[in-house]
Amino acid sequence: MHFETLAIHDAQAPDPHTGSVTVPVYQTSTFARSGLEYDGGFVYSRIGNPTRQALEATLALLDNGRYGLAFASGAAATMAALHVLKPGDHVVSGIDIYGGTYRIFKELLAPMGITTSYAGGSTTESYVEAVRPETKLIWVESPSNPLMRIADIRALAAFSKERGIILAVDSTFASPYFLRPLDLGADMVIHSTTKYLGGHSDIIGGAVIMNDDALHQSVKTYQAAAGAVPAPWDCWLVMRGLKTLKVRMKEHEANAMHLARFLESHPAVAKVLYPGLSSHPQHILAKSQMSGFGGMLTIEMKGGMEAVRKLISGVKLFLLADSLGGVESLIASPARMTLWALSPEERMKRGCSEGLVRISVGLEHPDDLQADLEQAIEGCG
């Protein structure tokens, strides 16, 4: 079956009791048992809940995985995926990653004796060079946040398989509509469902999708024991978002491409980082593993932070906000906002200059978005 059909039907059959065409919100903490012997049913909503179960099944289908597990945030999903590591283990991570994930590596894993090295660039070689005998996991964000770098997931998966290393891909920027890392050989996919999957900037959530039984058991045990699970109502909202993921992603992409082309030709803009542009250094690679390029783009303003401030204070439709992937267009300064956890030196080492502006292109009319950027960018050169 096709993506959009799976998103609407497969794991979301009409409610057997009432015929309700949407899965009910099972807003309950606990379930009455039939007797003292466990009968295989639901027991307690931290361990399992029917609304969450329907969401998890849908998430697994859309990423073409066997197992999906939902979490209370993307960060909780990240932590759950990384829980497969033990003291003494080593991680190789892409250097351009979400600041909160960097904080997990530095402030939560390092004190537990789990160390992380960062690949110097986005090439497969730069990941391979950072691998040590004790490396147990490679962490990839593709496209990455905020530099929109693309990792060669097929090549990294082949290498990881050979070395017995787990390949985990944070696929938040692409969404399963444009990228399915498990099909390319990755072991785990992580999403912040807060973003495109929810799609309406109204929930915080996360997910881990995988095929392997042992990995699933480990992440599921962590989910049940640590308990960072989403509430039934939030699960329902993500499920509703998934039903329109295809149509939203196509529009996000069309709008992003429109703005990327406009910005590329603007004299105040030094660089446009969007994998859909043929000027993107990894455009061909992106095309070979993604079915589209998504709705995120990053620009570098020639005038540095001063120009960034002017642009951000000049826009009227684009909201200054940290998140992404919603129907409304958002704008952010990675240096001041999403990468706040990094020192200026750490940011520079990653290639994140003060002049960067990250744009989450929403679903407004592209002409209105362009006109808004056009008037705000005036005089930013």
> For residues 198 and 58, is the Cβ–Cβ distance under 8 A?
no
Q: Any catalytic annotation for residue 195?
A: yes
Q: What is the spatial distance between Cα 228 and Cα 205, in angstroms, rounded to a whole number?
A: 10
Q: Any catalytic annotation for residue 170?
A: yes
Minimum CB separation of residue 191 from ligand PLP in Å reads 8
Binding to ligand PLP (CB under 6 A) within 330-359 occurs at none
Minimum CB separation of residue 77 from ligand PLP in Å reads 7
98 binds ligand PLP (CB under 6 A): yes
52, 149, 195, 220: the catalytic one is: 195
Structure token pair of residue 248: 């939203």
> For residues 349 and 95, is the Cβ–Cβ distance under 8 A?
yes
Minimum CB separation of residue 99 from ligand PLP in Å reads 8
Query: Looking at beta carbons only, is 6 or 174 nearer to ligand PLP?
Result: 174
Binding mask 158-187 for ligand PLP (x = CB under 6 A): ------------x-x---------------
Q: What residues contact 380, with CB distance under 8 A and at least 6 apart?
A: 268, 301, 302, 303, 307, 310, 311, 314
Query: Looking at beta carbons only, is 184 or 376 nearer to ligand PLP?
Result: 184
Q: Residue 245 to residues 4, 67, 178, 345, 364: CA-CA distances in angstroms?
A: 8, 20, 10, 38, 16
Amino acid identity, position 103: R
Minimum CB separation of residue 296 from ligand PLP in Å reads 9
> For residues 321 and 329, is the Cβ–Cβ distance under 8 A?
no
Q: Any catalytic annotation for residue 347?
A: no
Query: Looking at beta carbons only, is 332 or 380 nearer to ligand PLP?
Result: 332
Q: Residue 116 to residues 70, 132, 156, 331: CA-CA distances in angstroms?
A: 25, 10, 17, 30
- Element holding 184 (H helix, E strand): none
372 binds ligand PLP (CB under 6 A): no
Query: Looking at beta carbons only, is 51 or 171 nearer to ligand PLP?
Result: 171
Number of residues in contact with ligand PLP under rule CB under 6 A: 14
Cis ω before 232 (30° cut-off from 0) = no
Instruction: Please select the residue that binds ligand PLP; options are 24, 48, 100, 121, rule is CB under 6 A.
Output: 100
Query: Looking at beta carbons only, is 270 or 337 nearer to ligand PLP?
Result: 337
Minimum CB separation of residue 78 from ligand PLP in Å reads 6
96, 170, 187, 372: the catalytic one is: 170
Q: Residue 365 to residues 28, 34, 121, 353, 376: CA-CA distances in angstroms?
A: 41, 55, 36, 30, 17
Burial class (CB in 10 A: 0-12, 13-18, 19+), 213: exposed
Binding to ligand PLP (CB under 6 A) within 123-162 occurs at 141, 145
Binding mask 47-76 for ligand PLP (x = CB under 6 A): --------------------------xxx-
Query: Looking at beta carbons only, is 98 or 236 nearer to ligand PLP?
Result: 98
By beta carbon distance, the residue nearest ligand PLP is: 74
63, 89, 96, 98: the catalytic one is: 98
Q: Residue 21 to residues 231, 244, 292, 302: CA-CA distances in angstroms?
A: 20, 16, 31, 52
Give the DSSP per-residue string, 10-56.
IT-PPPTTT--SS------SB---SSSS--SS--BTTT--HHHHHHH
Instruction: Please select the residue that binds ligand PLP; options are 50, 65, 143, 206, rule is CB under 6 A.
Output: 206
Q: Report, as residue numbers or ranges, the catalytic residues.
A: 46, 98, 170, 195
